[in-house]
């Protein structure tokens, strides 16, 4: 009788141990799967598991490209009724900051117009782009202007301190100077591609048109702002003149 009870007891202990091991294994597996799904950067269901292998690879390739997509939109449209203010009102504190960020695109457009291969990717910093394109022909003077220009740009974009009309006027003057420095960029860049006997020449009329274009753009925006604050209405229409 004692031997039978001891045999039954052994079987019960073995069965209980096996059941305990199975329960612990299932619990551990569920916890591991839960943490794995929580830390995974992607959907819980495999993408394109019913599609062909080529389609599945193309889907995964396009999804992996999404984090690398960057875009810099225009912050202030040219004609926005939101900034037509009644007399005695002032512009919002963020207006000059957003205008400064938009004006950087003017300089980039002028550089690209002279040399189409020079394009700044949104992931590239403005300072490094301008130093590589404009600072070398200036022999140090251009580099100093670029640093002052980028300091004001970073002030407008990141610094919580005030950025008003005075800082914006300083930024506009530096923008005109860097536009003049951009005139030297095309002979400097092209001279590395061509022979010394065929140095490209720039026409004076094209340089003057470039400077007048940027200056007129800034002057027109400044006149519109002053008119909107003082008169509180739409600015008068301006006739465009085509340079000869």
CA 139 to chain centroid: 29
Q: Decide: 175 and 105 in contact? Cβ < 8 Å.
A: no
Alpha helix ranges (H) inside 158-203: 165-181, 185-191
Q: Which pLDDT belongs to residue 244?
A: 41
Q: Is the pLDDT of residue 68 over 80?
A: yes
Q: Decide: 120 and 129 in contact? Cβ < 8 Å.
A: yes
Closest CA to 220 of 78, 75, 76, 93: 78
Closest CA to 220 of 234, 206, 235: 235
Backbone phi, psi, residue 213, to 5°:
-65, -45
**Tokens encoding 15:** 């069965």
Q: Which pLDDT belongs to residue 23?
A: 95
What are 173-188's pLDDT values in tens digits? Answer: 998 888 887 776 654 4
Residue range 138-167: average pLDDT?
Answer: 82
Q: Which of 109-123, 143-157, 200-214 has the lowest mean pLDDT?
A: 200-214
Signed CA dihedral, 99, 175, 240, 90: sign only = positive
Backbone phi, psi, residue 235, to 5°:
-70, 155
Q: Which pLDDT belongs to residue 188?
A: 45
Signed CA dihedral, 163, 164, 169, 170: sign only = negative
Closest CA to 96 of 164, 24, 16: 164
pLDDT band at 189 (very low <50, low <70, confident <90, very high): very low
Domain ranges of the chain: 2-68, 81-231
Residue range 141-166: average pLDDT?
Answer: 86
Q: Is the pLDDT of residue 191 over 50?
A: no
Q: What burial letters (b/e) apply to 135-158, b meaning 16+ CB within 10 Å?
A: bebbeeebeebbebbbebbebbee
Q: Which pLDDT belongs to residue 10?
A: 84
């Amino acid at each position: 009788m004692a031997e039978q009870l001891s045999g039954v007891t052994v079987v019960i202990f073995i069965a209980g141990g096996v059941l305990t091991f199975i329960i612990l294994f299932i619990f551990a597996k569920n916890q591991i799967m839960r943490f794995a799904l929580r830390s995974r950067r992607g959907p819980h269901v495999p993408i394109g598991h019913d599609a062909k292998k080529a389609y599945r690879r193309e889907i995964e390739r396009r999804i992996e490209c999404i984090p690398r997509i960057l875009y810099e939109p225009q912050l202030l449209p040219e004609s926005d009724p939101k900034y037509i203010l009644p007399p005695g009102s002032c512009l919002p504190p963020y207006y000059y900051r957003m205008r400064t960020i938009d004006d950087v695109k003017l300089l980039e457009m002028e550089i690209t117009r002279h040399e189409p291969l020079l394009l700044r990717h949104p992931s590239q910093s403005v300072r490094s782009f301008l130093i590589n394109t404009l600072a070398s022909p200036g022999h140090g003077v251009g580099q100093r202007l670029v640093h002052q220009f980028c300091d004001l740009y970073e002030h407008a974009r990141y610094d919580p301190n005030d950025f008003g009309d005075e800082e914006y006027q300083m930024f506009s003057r530096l923008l005109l100077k860097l536009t003049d420095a951009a005139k030297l960029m095309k002979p400097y860049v092209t001279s590395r591609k061509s022979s010394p006997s065929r140095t490209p020449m720039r026409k004076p009329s094209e340089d003057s048109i470039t400077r007048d274009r940027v200056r007129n753009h800034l002057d027109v925006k400044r006149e519109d702002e002053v008119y909107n604050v003082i008169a509180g209405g739409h600015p008068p229409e301006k006739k465009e003149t085509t340079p000869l």
